[in-house]
Amino acid sequence: MDLTFTPEQQTFRRELQEWFTEHGPKGRLDSPYSEPGYSQHLEWEHALHEAGWAAPSWPSEVGGQGVDAWAELIYDEEYARFRLPERLNKMGLIHGGPTVMAHGTEQQKSEWLPGILTCEDIWCQGFSEPGAGSDLAAVRTTGRIKGDAMIVDGQKIWTSQGIIATTMFALVRTDPESRGHRGLTFVIIDLRSPGVEIRPLGQLHGNPGFAEVFFSGVEVPVANVIGEVGDGWHVASTSLALERGTARGSHTRMEQALVDLARDTAATGASGASVRRLGELAAWVAAYEQAAYASTHEIATGRGKDYASVIKMLGTQILTAVHEENLEVLGADAEVMADHGPNAEMYGMRRNYWHGRGAEIYAGSNEIQRNIIAERQLGLPKEPRG
C-alpha cells in the first residue's frame, strides 16, 4: 500500500493552495445563521462553484471535476489547513447528493444535484426522531401512499442546518405493520411545503442551526422516493457510510488543534505530565492520519473495505481528548480565548469541547459504531436485542 503523493497530486495541491490564497475570505465570516452571515457564506459558495471547486469529486456534467478519492482528500486537507468557512450545504455535499448519485434515477440527479452545488437548495438529513436517534430501526414518522403522492406525518429532531434548510432527505415508515429496518422508505421532502413546521433547537455549545421539524399531512410526490418504496434502509445505509466515511480533513483539523495545545502547553509552563500527554496525543493523531490515508487507498482502488465506523469512532475520541487536555492546560483561561473555533457564540475551548462530545453521538453514536465493528467486520456474536 503506497500512501505517498504522486507529482501530479502535488501539482493539484499547489493549484488549490494558490486559488485559496488568492480567493479565500480574508477575515472571519459571521455566523451563517445570521442574515449578514448567510449572505457572506453564500458569496463564498458561489465563488467556489464558479471556479469549479464546490465539489471537485462530483461529475463534471453537474458542476464538479470528477477527481478521484486521493484528490478529494487533498482538497479536504487544504480546505481545513486554510481554515476556510464551514460549508453551507455540507449535508447535501457529503451524503445527500452522493446518495442520490448512487441510488437515484437520471431525472432525480438532474433535478436535484445542481441546486446543491449552487446552494439554491440547502439540504438537511431527517433520520433522527425523539425515539429513534442512533437506533433508526425505531423510526415512526409515517409516509402513507395515496395515488402519486406520499402523505407524511410525524417529527424529526436534532436536524443540523435545519433552520436554513429547504430540502430534507428523510427516512419514513411506509408500511405501518413493519418493524425494524423493514418497511422504511428514503424520500426527498421540500421543507417549503404546506404542513411543515421548523422550530429552532438550542445546543450546549451555543451554535444555532439545530431544529426539530414537524410534518402534518405533508404531500410529497412519490417521484421523490430514492430507490424503491420499502427499501429505504438499503439507501440510508449508503448515506450513513458516506457521513461516517473518510476523514474529510478531520486529521488536518486534529493537527491544528494539536498545534494549539502545544502552544498553550509551552506558554503556561505546564507540568511534565502534560508534556507527556501531548506526546501521546501527537502519536494518536499521526496514526489517525495514516488510517485516513489507508481508507482513501481502499476507496481509490475499489476494494470496498469499509473503515467508516473505525474512522468515525477514533476520530471523534482523539479530537475530544485533545480538547480535554487543552482545557486542563489552560485552566480558567480556556473560558475567555475567543480565537478557538469557528462561528463560536460561546467563548473559548469550551465550545470546541462540547462540539467534540456531540460528534461522539451524531452520525450514529460511538457505541453503535463498536457494535458495527464487532458484528459486521469482526464477525462476533450479535448483541442481544429486545
Confidence of residue 385 (pLDDT cuts 50, 70, 90): low
Mean pLDDT of 298-315: 79
State yes or no: pLDDT of 344 exceeds 60.
Answer: no
Q: What is the pTM of this model?
A: 0.86
Q: Which of 112, 64, 124 is nearest to 88 (CA)?
A: 124
What pLDDT sits at residue 342?
39
User: Which 3-state string (H, E, C) describes the chain?
Assistant: CCCCCCHHHHHHHHHHHHHHHHHCCCCCCCCCCCHHHHHHHHHHHHHHHHCCCCCCCCCHHHCCCCCCHHHHHHHHHHHHHCCCCCCCCHHHHHHHHHHHHHHCCHHHHHHHHHHHHHCCCCEEEECCECCECCCHHHCCCEEEEECCEEEEEEEEEEECCCCCCCEEEEEEECCCCCCCCCCEEEEEEECCCCCEEEEECCCCCCCCCCEEEEEEEEEEEHHHEECCCCEHHHHHHHHHHHHHCCCCCHHHHHHHHHHHHHHHHHHCCCCHHHHHHHHHHHHHHHHHHHHHHHHHHHHHCCCCCCCHHHHHHHHHHHHHHHHHHHHHHHHHHHHHCCCCCCCCCCCCHHHHHHHHHHHCCCCCCHHHHHHHHHHHHCCCCCCCCC
State yes or no: pLDDT of 242 exceeds 70.
Answer: yes
Of 243, 255, 325, 360, catalytic: 243
Mean pLDDT of 4-29: 93
Beta strands in 17-132 (DSSP E): 123-126
Q: Percent of the chain having pLDDT more than 90?
A: 53
Known catalytic residue at 360: no
State yes or no: pLDDT of 324 exceeds 80.
Answer: yes
Confidence of residue 329 (pLDDT cuts 50, 70, 90): confident
State yes or no: pLDDT of 345 exceeds 50.
Answer: no
State yes or no: pLDDT of 319 exceeds 60.
Answer: yes
State yes or no: pLDDT of 337 exceeds 80.
Answer: no
Look over the chain and give the mean of its residue pLDDT values, rounded to a whole number: 88
Mean pLDDT of 7-20: 96
Confidence of residue 206 (pLDDT cuts 50, 70, 90): low
State yes or no: pLDDT of 361 exceeds 60.
Answer: yes
Q: Percent of the chain having pLDDT more than 70?
A: 92
Confidence of residue 24 (pLDDT cuts 50, 70, 90): very high
pLDDT tens-digit readout, 74-93: 999 999 999 899 899 999 99
Confidence of residue 149 (pLDDT cuts 50, 70, 90): very high
What pLDDT sits at residue 30?
87
Query: pLDDT higher for 231 or 340?
Result: 231
Mean pLDDT of 249-258: 89
State yes or no: pLDDT of 354 exceeds 90.
Answer: no
185, β-bridge pairs? 172
pLDDT tens-digit readout, 31-70: 888 899 999 999 999 999 999 999 999 998 888 899 998 9
pLDDT tens-digit readout, 111-141: 999 999 999 999 999 999 998 776 778 899 9
What pLDDT sits at residue 336?
65
